[in-house]
Every structure is written in structure tokens, then in C-alpha cells.
Amino acid sequence: MSEPVVWLTIFLLSVFVGVEVIAKVSSTLHTPLMSGANAIHGVILLGAVIVTGSTESTVALVVGLVAIVLAAVNMIGGFVVTDRMLQMFVRRKPGGGK
Amino acid sequence: MIPTWAQLVYLACAMAFILALKGLAGPRTARIGNLIGAAAAVVAVATPFFYLELDHVPLILAAVALGSAIGVVGARRVQMTQMPQMVALFNGVGGGAAALVALLELQELGPHADDVGWFTLAATAFTILVGSVSFAGSAVTFAKLQELMTSRPVVFPGLPVFFALAVVAGIVLGVLVVTDPGMSVGIPLAALGLLLGVLLVLPVGGADVPIVISLLNAFTGLTVAAGGYVLGNVVLLVAGTLVGASGTFLTLLMARAMGRSVSNILFGALRGGSTLGAGEASDRPVRSAGPEDVAILLGYAERVIIVPGYGLAVAQAQHTLRELVDVLLTRGARVDYAIHPVAGRMPGHMNVLLAEAQVPYDQLVEMDDINGEFKHTDVVLVVGANDVVNPAAKTTPGAPIYGMPILDVDEARQVVFLKRSMRPGFAGIENELLFDPRTSLLFGDAKDSLAKVLSAVKAL
């Protein structure tokens, strides 16, 4: 297989997996699920790090560092805020007080 | 070339992201799923430091630390009521980051355009454009939800034409990026993406904004996937595609829960003024009641259903409401909470808000299970909700919420609304139920009102 076809294969299989894994989610979890998916695409941080680490010009370096800050906010913030939401779903003692 | 061990690490991370999403789809596994995702993300980001000769490492680490600190502080400080705008904000910065990465990559690729191949350049253009759309669109959704601007649809004459022209210009610039890659096209393309993002979200009404957040989330996922192709990185490709595909699907699920189609949500306001709500308080007569009247209604009812809404959460009245429910239960009434799937500011938001208040989970009943009960119900107490009980969803074609499944509160014998004012709900339309002779309104802050009702019930 040529390389673009390999990538296309991975892409299409991922589409199916993506739809399949959330096919039966209840509306109760829509908010945390959206937030969690949001955090996962924060992995663009990886791309930002690689691009910034191989740049020479000062302008590109500054742009890259901005991208890193933004991506890190997305990724770390996303996972933390999702966890905060989910924590409350777990702590479900019957009749639990304040 | 990426060494084999690193490729295997990336593969493992990609699989972990699949497990993470799968976990997030079920209540019992959600938290562990999220933690798996976080761990995989950290491992993936750490990996290039071990096989690439990266320059500027101290600066990069400082930037990561700064971004992480901002993210953690924001995530910890945000109130649960503000969750939708927080998700929008995080998504927007992610889209912005993807666009910037692609811009930098375009600069790298430019001089070697002949070796790169058109597809890589097209993927780069896609990432720049859609990443910018996501960034600007998310900024507008944030402004709408945070009430920095009106949450009603904003339309101006010629908007559809302007929008169509911008889309065509985007395609032209995208083609130019492929034929003549360089910053001179890349930067205008990014600027156009920002414009498109704003134009896309302006006409969307407040109640539909969460659907758009979900859609933009999917967009960002796809840009990350395209970025993965450009950089030759499999984790980005898989993670981005997963989010893009599941996000698109989630968007459709949410739209269905609201009885709307995605195209109607995005372009409904462009087709005509029909989705514009009145947005103003009416001066028609209503029956307002005092706390004592409400207490008598509730205290002697056998069957009571509570409909909690966003107003309850904003007033932080959950605990007072719980106390009231406890008293009613000891007086022998049967009391449930009816949860509409889109109560709050986003689908599933009310469950998050009530979970925060530790309302016992077994008292929460979902819409489909409780809707048959309303006709046997003596009193329905609506606390800070409006749109999800508005019969216009069934009776008024052309209303912004028409077609949305609602809680059949109008079938109950008595309805009590706790409201701050006559201002319409988030969808911006009036609720006929407020003017029904069986309805009483208790005006005021929800927490305050509930406290007064509570002491009046205790005194019965």
C-alpha cells in the first residue's frame, strides 16, 4: 500500500471507531463527554511542540510558543474540568448530605 | 523518521484515546476513561523529547507549564453553571493552536513545495481555515453564553450572500495554498477563517449555542487529524479523527434531543425571521401568589413533581429545594424531580448541576419516564426553568423551540412557577403556560422564594 492509502485507511477506521464507541451514550453524559473529547483533541500540543522545536526564525518561535500555550490550556484544562464534573457523578451516596 | 519504539508508543496512545472515549460514554467508566485519556496525552506529548533533537527546550517547557497552569486554574475556578462556555473556550484555543501549527508547517513546507505533494498542502490549508473558524466561532459562542453579547440570533441583511462569498473566497485561498504555498496566502486564509467563524455563529440563537459548541468541537478534532497527516503523526490523526467523528455524531444526537436539525440550527435564522423570539417581557395579566399560597398548594398535595432549571442552579437554591422536598416527603407526598435532557445550558447540564448539589440520584427521573405522570400530578413546581416546559414546542410551528420534546407540565392540575421576572427563557419566547388560570407565579430569587415557602410549609 502506498503511504497516503495507509493514512486514509487509518482515518476511515478511526471514523467508524469514533462513531461506534459513543453510539449508545445517554444524554446524562453529553456534557462531560463533549468536554472529554475536547480535551483529547488538545493533543495538538504534541504537534505544537514538534513544530516549535524545529523552528529557526524568531517570529516562528513566538508563534509556536503561543500555539503551545493555547494547546496546553485546551488539553490540561479540558481533562481537569472533565474530571471535576465526573467526580460529582461518582459521589452518589443515597441521601448524602451537604 | 520516527524510530520504531516511538511509533509503538504513539500507537499505544492512540488506542488509549479510543478506550478513553469508550469509557466516557458510560457513567460507571467515565472517570477512569478520562484519566486514561489524560495519561495517554501526557505520554504522547513527552515522547518527541526523547527522539527528536528539539531546540528551544527550556522555552517550550515554560510555555507548556504556563498553558497548563492557566488550564488548571480555569478548570478549577469555573462554576458548574458556566461549564458550556468553558468547554467552548477550551475548544477555541485548541482550534487556534491547530491553525498556528499548520501556519508554521506551511512556512516549512513552502520552499519544498514540489516534494510535498498537493494532498499535504491541502490538509495544511484545511487545518488553517477550519482551525481559525473553530477559534473565532468558539469566541462568539463564549460571548453569547457569558452574556457579553445578546444571546439572540444576530442577522443583518445580506448576511447569507456575505457568508457564501466568504466560503468561496476560502476555497480559492485554499487552492492558492496548494499551488503557491507560503505565508502570503496562509495569513489571509487564517484571517478569512476567523471571519467565517464569526459569521457562522452570529445567527445562532442562545438555546442552540451548545449544539454549535459540539459541532465546532468536532471541527477542531478534524483539524487536529489533518495536522496529524501533515506532520506524519499517527496519534494526532487517530485522536483528531475520533473526536471529529464522535463529535459530529454527538452533535446529531443532541440536535435530535432538541427536536431540531443541525442545518436548521445553523441556518434557520438566515432563512427568515421565524427563529427570532420576542425577547421582551409581556404585560398580560398573570396570577401571582405569595409563599403562603404556594406552601398550602404543596403541603396538601399528594403528588408533586419538581422541574429544576438553570435559574435554580444560578440562584444556588439546590440545597433549599432539597430541604423543601424532604419536608414534603415527611408529610406523605410523593415527590420526583423531572429532568429534561437539555435543561440547563447544554444537554446533560442539569444532571451535572444537580450532581454538584448532591440531590439523591434516585429522585431524578428522565423526561420519557415522567411525562405520563403529569396528568396525575397535583402540583408541578417549576424552579427557574422555562423553555423545557413551554407548550409552544408542541403548538407553535415557527417558534425557535418548535419540535423539541418538552415536559408535559401543562397537563398537571396546578403549576407553580418560581421566576425572577417575566423575562422569557433562553430561547427568547414567551410561555403561554404562564398565563394559564391553573398557573401561579411566585416572583423573586429562587433561593429566597424557596426558603420562604419552606418555612411556610413547616408552619402548616
Mean pLDDT score of chain B: 89
Contact B424, B401 (CB under 8 A): no
With 90 as the cut, is the pLDDT of residue B344 above it? no
What pLDDT, on a 0 to 100 scale, did the predictor assign at position B371?
92
Nearest to A44 among B56, B98, B361 (CB): B98
* B74 neighbourhood in chain A, CB within 8 Å: 73, 77, 81
Which range, of A80-84, B117-121, B293-297, averages the lowest pLDDT?
Answer: B117-121
Strand B379-383 to B364-366 pairing: unpaired
Q: Give yes or no for a contact between B441 and B286, defined as CB atoms under 8 angstroms apart.
A: yes
A94's CB contacts (< 8 A; 6+ apart) are B360, B361, B362
Minimal Cα distance from A21: which residue of B?
B22
Q: What is the total residue count of chain B? A: 460
Q: What is the mean pLDDT of residues B228-233?
A: 92
pLDDT-based confidence at residue B173 (cuts at 50, 70, 90): very high
How far apart are alpha carbons B83 and B94 in whole angstroms?
A: 17
pLDDT beyond 50 at B91: yes
Q: Is A2 on the interface with B (CB under 8 A)?
A: no
Q: Rounded to an integer, what distance in angstroms lies between the CA atom of residue B45 and that of residue B93?
A: 17
pLDDT at B254: 84
Predicted confidence at residue A19, as pLDDT, reads 93
pLDDT tops 90 at residue B175: yes
B192-206 per-position pLDDT tens digit? 999 999 999 999 887
B387 is catalytic: yes
Mean pLDDT within A39-60:
94
Do residues B413 and B336 touch, judged by C-beta distance below 8 A?
no
Average pLDDT of the segment spanning B304-325: 88
pLDDT bin (cut points 50, 70, 90) of residue A94 is: very low
pLDDT, residue B415, reads: 94
Residue B393 has pLDDT above 80, yes or no: yes
User: Which distant-in-sequence residues (6+ apart) come within 8 Å of A98 by Cβ?
Assistant: B319, B358
Asked whether the predicted pLDDT for residue A96 surpasses 50, the reply is no
Cβ–Cβ < 8 Å for B116, B109: yes
What is the pLDDT at residue B266?
A: 81
pLDDT in tens, B245-279: 999 999 998 888 777 788 888 877 666 544 444 44
What pLDDT is stored for residue B381 in this prediction? 94
pLDDT at A90: 64
Please say if the pLDDT value at position A93 is more than 60.
no
Please name the residues between 49 and 88 in chain B that touch chain A, using a CB distance below 8 Å.
Answer: 49, 52, 54-57, 59-60, 63-68, 70-72, 74-76, 78, 80, 83-84, 86-87
Q: What is the pLDDT of residue B424?
A: 73
Average pLDDT over residues A91-96: 46
Sheet harboring B364-366: ordered strands across?
B364-366, B334-339, B303-308, B379-383, B414-419, B439-443
A70·B37 Cβ contact <8 A: no
Is the C-alpha dihedral spanning B282, B288, B290, B294 positive or negative? Answer: negative
Residue from B208, B336, B387, B408 carrying the catalytic annotation: B387
Is residue A95 pLDDT above 50, yes or no? no
Full-model pTM: 0.86
Residues in chain B closer than 8 A to A45 (CB atoms) = 41, 45, 64, 67, 97
The owner of cell 436548521 is: B264
pLDDT tens digits, one per residue of B2-19: 899 999 999 999 999 999
Between A19 and B395, the more confident residue is: A19
pLDDT given at position A29? 85
Task: Choose the closest CB to A29 out of B25, B60, B362.
Answer: B25
Q: Are B434 and B390 in contact (CB under 8 A)?
A: no
Residues 163-202 of B with CB under 8 A from A: none
Q: Cite the DSSP H helix spans in A1-98.
A: 3-21, 30-41, 44-53, 58-72, 78-90
Where helices occur in B232-276 by DSSP H, the ranges are 234-257, 262-271
**What angle (nearest 5°) sits at the alpha carbon of residue A21, between those of residues B83 and B47?**
75
Cβ neighbors of B110 (< 8 A, separation 6 or more) are B181, B182, B183
**pLDDT tens column, B358-375:** 777 778 888 888 999 999
Chosen for mutation from B1, B17, B24, B55 (greatest number of chain A CBs closer than 10 Å) is B24
CA B133, CA B85: separation in Å to the nearest integer? 17
Residue B416: other Cβ atoms inside 10 A? 24
- State whether residue B442 is helix, strand or coil: strand
Alpha carbon separation from B18 to A20, B85, B87, B222 (Å, rounded): 10, 26, 20, 16
Give the distance from residue A9's alpha carbon to the nearest chain B alpha carbon, in angstroms.
11
Q: Is the pLDDT of residue B328 over 60?
A: yes
- Kindly indicate the confidence band of residue B282, based on its pLDDT and cuts at 50, 70 and 90: low
Task: Establish if A58 touches chain B: CB-CB under 8 angstroms.
Answer: no
| Site of grid cell 465526573 | A86
